Structure 1
Amino acid sequence: MGDRLRGLATLAAVLAGAAIAAAIGYVLFVELPVGLAELLGIVLTLALALLGAKLAGNAVRSMAPGYDVAEVAVEGPITRDGGGGPLPSQPGSTPADDIVEQIERADADDAVDALLVRLNTPGGEVVPSDDIKLAAEAFDGPTIAYAQDTCASGGYWIASGCDELWARDATVVGSIGVIGSTVNAADLAEKVGLSYERFAAGAYKDAGTPLKELDADEREYLQGIVDDLYDNFVERVAEGRDLDAEAIRDTEARVYLGEDAAEIGLVDRLGTREDVEDELSERLGVDAVAVEEFEPERGIAARMRGGAERVAYALGAGVASVAADDREIDLQLR
């Protein structure tokens, strides 16, 4: 159904819905033989007519959506739940589960024929980045990743799950690497009179604990984890982007401007958002595409619950961090 025909159908449905609702309202309210009641009936009739028009319009739009491309946005640091840690210290970060849900919802929408993944991210956590990449890879239809200002590390990992990666001339692209870090406060603790008492089972259970020095074996162990993640990153990107693994390693996690990234094959094509939509139109065989941005379906209650959980965690972090399993070493695709 063309845009013009769809608009006419929506208008007709709205008018019909308003007329039906007005007729019902007139019968129910206006014919009362009391002057004040008649006035009230007119007001209620108009309100019912507006409600009927709105419901009719929504029904038509749900039956004949005015879009054929779904857009999802990956913006800010990539995390599991959108927080930067126990406290929401990184506003604007990307909750990976929300992005995956949006892509899956778009894939299940019969009106959606293609997926546009808009990227503006410095990277982030390893597994959440991979979850988004796998969701994009599983989408049934053409997929294009469009890098705006920054598409680095975890963002590039996500792009490797799409058919093509587009960028602007000045977009920052690359940083294909992994970083792991921990704070070493052993010297400071000694100066202020703090000591570290170890209660752990397993030689490497407390590797990276801030209040003790890393020994050579622990450093080798932690570096090995980072190296393994990097190897996995390179392999996945090489496969998804059809690039040579050694060429990716040769970048040594450097970042490139879009024009340079295109020259070495990290980016497929350079162009504006309009250029990307033109490409999608050509792929879908239509004159022009209509893009609908899909947003998270999580309600206010779910968001408040997530915030409360992070605050509750923070309140107990002073004790819990002594026995933490995965918060002592911060591993990021950055």
Structure 2
Amino acid sequence: MPKEKSRWKTVITILIIFFIISWIISFIISSFFKIEGPSGNVALIPVKGIITAEGFQSFGVKGASSTEIIEFIEKADKSPSVKAILFEINSPGGGAVASKEIADAVKRANKTTYALIREVGASGGYWIASATDHIIANEFSITGSIGVIASYIEFAGLLERYNMTYQRLVAGKYKDMGSPLKHLPFDEREILQNKLNKLHESFIKEIATNRNMPVERIREISTGEFYFGSEALQLGLIDSLGDKETAKELIKQQLNLTKVEFAEYEKPKTLMEILTGVFSENFFLIGKGIGSALTEQKAVNRIEIIT
């Protein structure tokens, strides 16, 4: 037993030393070998995963950070060598604030902007695409889904079943509105629904403005339904069908360029991020299914609004 304990102590010590050395190397690389910017005449900015302000990350899978993407847009817009910006979108949406922040930054750009929707560019992802000058999608890309959702799991019935009580102490009638520990009263449901309706209406007006279409027309198709690229083209939600090569040829033709070279704007992963991703993925595979219900739960007493 003493030998086994000693062996485990040695392993743990080695792991700690390894992580410390990795962190130091990562810090040195990021401090002294910063990349000034990619080369090419068309900026390629990816918008991948869940859209949040800082970039949602779970088990090594990083989402789209509005902070990073806006920084890339501003850098590309200031670069004299960049003639256009192409957003490669593969996102189901995310936070309303983060989506609007990126869409607003796209509209502020002085360069011609394009969106290429890959597998999915829905909800907040489509919001961003709509802010560009031209949208390209595959005929089977998932687009649209112009709607807002807010949901949570209510535990009030479960508490009652096990004779547990939620002791409510608030200063302000609606301070715990949407708490999953109590039943949702009619007045609170009405308030929340009204707020979702307001956000949805703003979403509709933004899309109508961005696509230069009547608000009523956008309202008709803004049921939250998703559309394939071929359907979106008929509805006026996108401009053409195609892929990356299609986008390349379109940019070359519209901007009278002899050639198009993409400059990929993507934050390079540090050594620690790579290692964290590897370990996270492995731990996820080991525990897959055990904690799946808890993976994306952020707060037990809050409703998350997603576009």
Q: What TM bracket, shorter-length normalisation?
A: 0.7 to 0.9
Tell me if structure 2 keeps the 8 A contact 1:153–1:174. yes
SS in 2 for 1:295: coil
Q: Does residue 1:118 correspond to 2:88, yes or no?
A: yes
Q: Deviations over 1:27-69 (max 9, x none)?
A: xxxxxxxxxxxxxxxxxxxxxxxxxxxxxxxxxx989x85110
Q: Distance in 2 between matches of 1:89 and 1:127?
A: 24
Q: Does residue 1:73 correspond to 2:46, yes or no?
A: yes
Question: Which residue is 1:254 aligned to?
Answer: 225
The structural deviation recorded for 1:321 is 5.4
Give the superposed CA RMSD.
2.7
Q: Distance in 2 between matches of 1:289 and 1:122?
A: 28
- Going from structure 1 to structure 2, the CA distance change for 1:90 and 1:200 (only over 3 Å counts) comes to farther
Question: Which residue is 1:314 aligned to?
Answer: none
SS in 2 for 1:116: strand
Alignment map for 1:211-226 (pairs within 5 Å) = 211-226=181-196
Q: Distance in 2 between matches of 1:93 and 1:137?
A: 22
SS in 1 for 2:143: strand
Q: Distance in 2 between matches of 1:165 and 1:234?
A: 17
- Going from structure 1 to structure 2, the CA distance change for 1:302 and 1:132 (only over 3 Å counts) comes to farther
Amino acid across the alignment from 1:269? S
Unaligned ranges ≥5, structure 1:
1-60, 305-319
- Going from structure 1 to structure 2, the CA distance change for 1:191 and 1:66 (only over 3 Å counts) comes to closer
The one of 286, 302, 305 aligned to 1:328 = 302
The structural deviation recorded for 1:89 is 5.8
Q: Distance in 1 between matches of 2:111 and 2:181?
A: 51
Q: Does residue 1:264 correspond to 2:241, yes or no?
A: no
Question: Which residue is 2:293 aligned to?
Answer: none
The structural deviation recorded for 1:298 is 8.0
Q: Distance in 1 between matches of 2:90 and 2:268?
A: 21
The one of 187, 199, 218 aligned to 2:157 = 187
Question: Which residue is 1:24 aligned to?
Answer: none
Q: Distance in 1 between matches of 2:205 and 2:215?
A: 6
Q: Deviations over 1:10-40 (max 9, x none)?
A: xxxxxxxxxxxxxxxxxxxxxxxxxxxxxxx
Q: Deviations over 1:109-146 (max 9, x none)?
A: 22111000011111111000111111111111110011
SS in 2 for 1:274: helix
The percentage of counterpart residues that share the same residue type is 35
- Going from structure 1 to structure 2, the CA distance change for 1:157 and 1:62 (only over 3 Å counts) comes to closer
Question: Which residue is 2:249 aligned to?
Answer: 278
Q: Distance in 1 between matches of 2:270 and 2:210?
A: 34
Question: Which residue is 1:82 aligned to?
Answer: 55
Alignment map for 1:147-158 (pairs within 5 Å) = 147-158=117-128
The structural deviation recorded for 1:296 is 2.1
Q: Does residue 1:227 correspond to 2:197, yes or no?
A: yes
Q: Structure with the greater relative contact order (CA < 8 A, sep ≥ 6): 1 or 2?
A: 2
Q: Does residue 1:140 correspond to 2:110, yes or no?
A: yes
SS in 1 for 2:67: helix
SS in 1 for 2:118: strand
SS in 2 for 1:292: strand
Alignment map for 1:149-168 (pairs within 5 Å) = 149-168=119-138
Amino acid across the alignment from 1:277? K
SS in 2 for 1:276: helix
Q: Distance in 2 between matches of 1:89 and 1:247?
A: 41
Q: Does residue 1:288 correspond to 2:262, yes or no?
A: no
Question: Which residue is 1:14 aligned to?
Answer: none
Unaligned ranges ≥5, structure 2:
1-34, 276-297
Alignment map for 1:28-67 (pairs within 5 Å) = 66-67=39-40
Q: Distance in 2 between matches of 1:91 and 1:195?
A: 38
Q: Distance in 2 between matches of 1:90 and 1:301?
A: 11
Amino acid across the alignment from 2:82? V
The structural deviation recorded for 1:90 is 7.9
Q: Distance in 2 between matches of 1:240 and 1:196?
A: 46
SS in 1 for 2:194: helix
Find the structure with the greater CA-based Rg: 1
- Going from structure 1 to structure 2, the CA distance change for 1:129 and 1:90 (only over 3 Å counts) comes to farther
Q: Distance in 1 between matches of 2:261 and 2:139?
A: 25
Tell me if structure 2 keeps the 8 A contact 1:101–1:296. no
Q: Distance in 1 between matches of 2:274 and 2:187?
A: 42
Q: Distance in 2 between matches of 1:300 and 1:110?
A: 31
Give TM-score, length-normalised by structure 2.
0.76
Alignment map for 1:314-325 (pairs within 5 Å) = none
The structural deviation recorded for 1:217 is 0.6
The structural deviation recorded for 1:179 is 0.3
Give TM-score, length-normalised by structure 1.
0.70
- Going from structure 1 to structure 2, the CA distance change for 1:90 and 1:196 (only over 3 Å counts) comes to farther
- Going from structure 1 to structure 2, the CA distance change for 1:62 and 1:236 (only over 3 Å counts) comes to closer
SS in 1 for 2:61: coil
- Going from structure 1 to structure 2, the CA distance change for 1:250 and 1:62 (only over 3 Å counts) comes to closer
